[in-house]
Amino acid sequence: VLETLGNESAVRLLNEADAAIRDTRLKLNLMKDNGRDVLRLQRMLKSATDFYNHARTAEQHGDYRTALDHGSHAAGLLNSLQQLMAR
């Protein structure tokens, strides 16, 4: 992916993950305020956020392969989380 699309592809993925994390956090807080049990969902978000943070650190050190790898894991968890939240 990096060879074809360049390092900017990792940066775009991380920017999208950042927005999804913020949006998901807000939605989980609303769900919690409405009495839903969101503990498991919050744990998934924490894992996604951890992957994201590792990815950003790698990006800052110029390690775009690791940034893309960890960012992809974060994005996958966020996608799964959003599917679970829709149920």
For residue range 11-69, list pLDDT tens digits in order: 999 999 999 999 999 999 999 999 999 999 999 999 999 999 999 999 999 999 999 99
Q: Report how far residue 24's alpha carbon sits from residue 31's, in angstroms, rounded to the nearest whole number.
A: 10
Q: For residue 83, what is the enclosing H or E element?
A: helix 64-85
Residues 48-69 as b/e (b if ≥16 CB within 10 A, e otherwise) read bbebbebbbebbeeeebebbbb
Model-wide pTM > 0.85: yes
